[in-house]
Amino acid sequence: MIKCSTTLLLACIAVGCGEGSIPKSHSRAASDDVADRLYVNGVIWTGAAGAPDASALAIRDGVISYVGHDPVPAHETIDLEGRFVMPGFIDNHVHFLDGGAGLASVDLRDAATREAFSTRIADHAQSLPTDQWVRNGNWDHQLWGGELPHRKWIDDQTPATPVFVIRLDGHMALANSVALQRAGISAGTPDPEGGQIVRDADGEPTGILKGNALNLVMNVLPEPTEEEILRAFERAQAHALSVGLTQVHAVTAGPTEAAMLDAFRLAADRGVMKIRAHVYTPLEHWSAMNERAEPDSSSDASKLTWAGFKGFVDGSLGAGTAWFHQPYSDEPDHYGLALTVPDTLHELIAGADAAGRRLAIHAIGDRAIDQLIADFQTVAGEHIADRRYRIEHFQHPTRAAIDTASAHGIIASMQPYHAIDDGRWAERRIGTERIRTTYAFRTILDAGVKLTFGSDWPVAPLSPLEGIYAAVTRRTIDGAHPDGWQPQEKITVEEALTAYTASNAYAVFEEHVAGTLEVGKRADFVVLSDDPRAVESVSIRDIRVRETVIGGEIVFQAPNQGRTNGE
């Protein structure tokens, strides 16, 4: 990428200034109309409805001062050399600190055999100081045929090291015997409400915990130090900026009402926060959180916002804890789990809503979604559309639920990569009929529902380009559906880009300052190696982020600025 100073004569050729014709306004001492930086010779998708592409964009004092085709006076000019510019990606659902911690932990995501699973855990345990936990992991038992792991797989290799590794959906985990002992889990421990301790034929815990049973171990995990929190934040932030994210909606729950928000505040107060974040704190703590002094105050309010409350109705399809009206096809007596007692959930929603707080509630199975919509309707009545309630995941709605969400302005906060992951095995779990409205992106958009996209990282890859690839191609990760799984639900590239930008800004009431590249809005944008609308859909995931800009500041720049198609 070529940079040129407007004080240098020859460098102005790229922006149309002939030799000897540099206007005085290009000087730093000139008019206040001079932009800080001008990008030219690009393909600029503004994201604004009905607006054509531009080729030049200027920024001044952290906001966009010009979008169009003409060169304007600027202190610095950057030749995009045909690259693609778009609004910065926004992720609607990310477990930010967990993801950052996971980058330094054992990685089980692609462990395809029982042996690989056990060996990686054992090797990581040996690298840790005495008594430190093995955590994270993000394993997927479907990779080795669907058999759930057992504590005996790892007990011999970890006789003194507590292990608590979570399935990639976050709703099922394996604990070794050391971890079970520390949590006080034995054959006599009853299943908690909304959870299950999986047991063998003798009634002994296998180490597999589902739903709210995970809390039994999470409650005895050691609290991270400030320095550990900062390291996790900085790892997560560096990764996020490198994949073009300029804002995240962080939803990880903490052991106290403000644990995660305080972690983000720590990063802001230490001066390391570059990315913007809207943080949702646990719904079950809404009353205590609401009584605190103004929770969204921080050292940088433009970067960090307390967004409202995140709650749960059910779990996940992969863990068998998504809640359905009809039983699972492969478990005829099992309907899933309600992680929050319905009456309790209704009270929590009503209380938080009455306090004027925003809500983002996890609901995956059709019964969970229907229950949540009914609660929203009862609580908000005729004002429901004003609330911009969010249903997180919205994976398996009925057609009636989609139409109701449209009628009431409820936002479908979805994560498209899940479709090409779960598509390998979802039909075995819920059958051919319910599968028709699974990850129903096309149907949802056609019904008029506001669709937003994100990753659910570290459950799925953080890269928005991976998500766009998933939404546009629907090619499952096992290669079994080259033309797309449930291909009638494919959407266009521009629709996917909008779901990652303007729609996400709308979801947090920021459509007037973010989400599109328009004069007066924040200068949050990303430069890509190629135009995702112009490449073959299967090549979208190969596009590279060349530069990420937040508030006019370049916060990520790829080391190699040379351009190749599809680099």
pLDDT in tens, 299-325: 456 799 999 999 999 999 998 999 999
Decide if 13 is inside a domain. yes
Task: Note the Cα 430 to chain centre separation in Å.
Answer: 25
Residues 317 and 300 grouped into a single domain: no
Residues 76 and 207 grouped into a single domain: no
Residues 475 and 347 grouped into a single domain: yes
pLDDT reported for residue 104:
86
Decide if 562 is inside a domain. no
Each residue's pLDDT tens digit, 354-369: 999 999 999 999 999 9
Decide if 61 is inside a domain. yes
Name the domain count of the chain: 4
Q: Which amino acid, residue 403?
A: D
Decide if 422 is inside a domain. yes
Per-residue confidence band for 60, with pLDDT thresholds at 50, 70 and 90:
very high
Residues 259 and 324 grouped into a single domain: no
- Preceding peptide of 458 cis, ω within 30°: yes
- Does the structure show a pLDDT above 70 at 327? yes
Residues 57 and 154 grouped into a single domain: no
Residues 289 and 320 grouped into a single domain: no
Domain end: 290, 308, 326, which one? 308
Domain of 402, CATH number, reads 3.20.20.140
Each residue's pLDDT tens digit, 511-548: 999 999 999 999 999 999 999 999 999 999 999 999 99
User: Mean pLDDT across the stretch 396-415?
Assistant: 98
The total of other beta-carbon atoms located within 10 Å of residue 204's CB is 13
Please give the mean pLDDT across all residues of the chain.
Answer: 90
Structure tokens at 482: 């080259």
Domain end: 308, 329, 358, which one? 308
Residues 320 and 281 grouped into a single domain: no
Nearest-angstrom CA–CA distance, 25 and 41:
21
Decide if 412 is inside a domain. yes
Contact 131, 287 (CB under 8 A): no
Each residue's pLDDT tens digit, 419-472: 999 999 999 999 999 999 999 999 999 999 999 999 999 999 999 999 999 999
Residues 510 and 545 grouped into a single domain: no
pLDDT reported for residue 254:
54
Nearest-angstrom CA–CA distance, 465 and 172:
27
Residues 485 and 348 grouped into a single domain: yes
Decide if 564 is inside a domain. no
Q: Which amino acid, residue 545?
A: V
Nearest-angstrom CA–CA distance, 491 and 471:
6
- Does the structure show a pLDDT above 60 at 28? no
- Going by the DSSP 8-state scheme, the letter that residue 291 receives in this structure is H
Decide if 18 is inside a domain. yes
| Structural domain harbouring 144 | 96-218
CA distances from 171 to 174, 318, 387, 409 (A): 11, 8, 28, 28
CA distances from 311 to 323, 374, 390 (A): 15, 15, 11
Q: At which residue do the structure tokens 């937040």 appear? A: 550
User: Mean pLDDT across the stretch 80-96?
Assistant: 97
Each residue's pLDDT tens digit, 111-170: 999 999 999 999 999 998 888 999 989 899 989 989 999 999 999 999 999 999 999 888
The total of other beta-carbon atoms located within 10 Å of residue 221's CB is 15
Closest Cα to residue 334, out of 314, 360, 349? 314
Residues 382 and 502 grouped into a single domain: yes
| 3-state SS class at 229 | helix
Nearest-angstrom CA–CA distance, 67 and 28:
21
Decide if 145 is inside a domain. yes
Domain of 143, CATH number, reads 3.10.310.70
Residues 8 and 83 grouped into a single domain: yes
Domain end: 273, 308, 343, which one? 308
Domain of 39, CATH number, reads 2.30.40.10
pLDDT reported for residue 19:
29
- List beta partners, residue 393: 363
Residues 338 and 231 grouped into a single domain: no
